[in-house]
Amino acid sequence: MTAAGVAAARSSTADLAEIVSRTEDAQWELPSACAGWRVIDVMAHLAALATEAVHPPPPDPGLPRNRERYHDLRVDERRSLSHREVLDEWRHSTPRQLDLLAAAQEPPGADEPVEVAGLGTYPRHLLANTMAFNVFCHLRDDLLAPAGPLPFALPAPTGEQVAPAVEFMLAGLPQMQGPELAAAVTGPLVLDLTGPGATTVTVRPADGPDGRLTVVPGAAPDSTAAVHSTALEFIAWGTTRTPWRDHCRVTGDGATATPFLDLLNIV
């Protein structure tokens, strides 16, 4: 199970609550590093996710299938709310969201597959890592300086916070972009992520009936190239918040890694 994902989600949420308590009213209107969203819109997004976890909406085929457009829609629904109303929703729903994610670590439902529209299908217990990723990434990369507008400092990220976020990213990598990304991987490609949250995996070309890439632990001896960066940097460049070329060192046949790196965009 991914109890570490629950712990990471709680830890990053506590960090976010600390930043919320220090943010002045005018700062909520500043543009975040998430294109098109103000600081308060990032909080509206997290509030929407929490509320939907607690009170899942009925299926609606009219909603966008593209996950980014879906998030934009939910944020737009909250643009008429005051700062206080957005923050009150976040404060109200988030503790219950965390409790539900903790309960999802227990059998028999922990391994039940859950479809996340536009993102793929995951075992229920891994949804905790989804929250750990969302809160960590939005806080550290979109809200706080130097990338974001809020001039507050937090302790350096820990491996316990970073690793579950990276685990979700790697679980989503084969699913989120489908055939487009799969076509860019022509040979086994190693991702060597160091520092807090360190892990090494191999992205293998699609060879099954589902046409998906596979991500397996360790560095495969038949790999064509290896991409080296820190795990913390991977959260930024793997979501296209910063260019991969600013962070990555490629060894082996770089020409086989570049198409994959140019296309990768984990939501």
Identify whether 108 is preceded by a cis peptide bond (ω within 30 of 0). Answer: yes
Domain span holding position 129: 3-155
Residue 64 lies in a domain: yes
Residue 92 lies in a domain: yes
Per-residue pLDDT, averaged over 4-17, amounts to 98
List beta partners, residue 214. Answer: 204
Confidence of residue 68 (pLDDT cuts 50, 70, 90): confident
Give the tokens for residue 165: 């976020």
**pLDDT score, position 214:** 96
Confidence of residue 65 (pLDDT cuts 50, 70, 90): confident
Both 107 and 196 in one domain: the answer is no
The whole-angstrom separation of Cα 30 and Cα 152 is 14
Residue 66 lies in a domain: yes
**Confidence check: pLDDT of 131 > 50:** yes
Per-residue pLDDT, averaged over 116-126, amounts to 92
Identify whether 146 is preceded by a cis peptide bond (ω within 30 of 0). Answer: yes
- Integer-rounded Cα Rg, in Å, for the chain is 18
Please report, for the domain that includes residue 37, its CATH number: 1.20.120.450
Q: For 192-238, how does the pLDDT look when each residue is reduced to its tens digit (9 = 90+)?
A: 999 999 999 999 999 878 889 999 999 999 999 999 999 999 999 99
Between 103 and 58, the higher pLDDT residue: 103
Give the predicted TM-score (pTM) of the model.
0.95
| Domain limit, last residue, from 121, 155, 189 | 155
**Confidence check: pLDDT of 110 > 90:** yes
**Confidence check: pLDDT of 1 > 70:** no
Looking at the 3D structure of the chain, how many domains does it have?
Answer: 2
Between 68 and 25, the higher pLDDT residue: 25
Both 134 and 214 in one domain: the answer is no
Per-residue pLDDT, averaged over 96-102, amounts to 97
Residue 166 lies in a domain: no
- Phi and psi torsions of 57, nearest 5°: -75, 155
**Confidence check: pLDDT of 22 > 60:** yes
**pLDDT score, position 13:** 98
C-alpha angle with apex 191: 215 to 157, nearest 5 degrees? Answer: 105
What does pLDDT average to over the chain? Answer: 95
Both 110 and 229 in one domain: the answer is no
Both 96 and 206 in one domain: the answer is no
Both 9 and 136 in one domain: the answer is yes
Residue entry with tokens 């949250």: 197
* DSSP 8-state code for residue 59: P
Both 25 and 102 in one domain: the answer is yes
Residue 163 lies in a domain: no
List beta partners, residue 194. Answer: 230
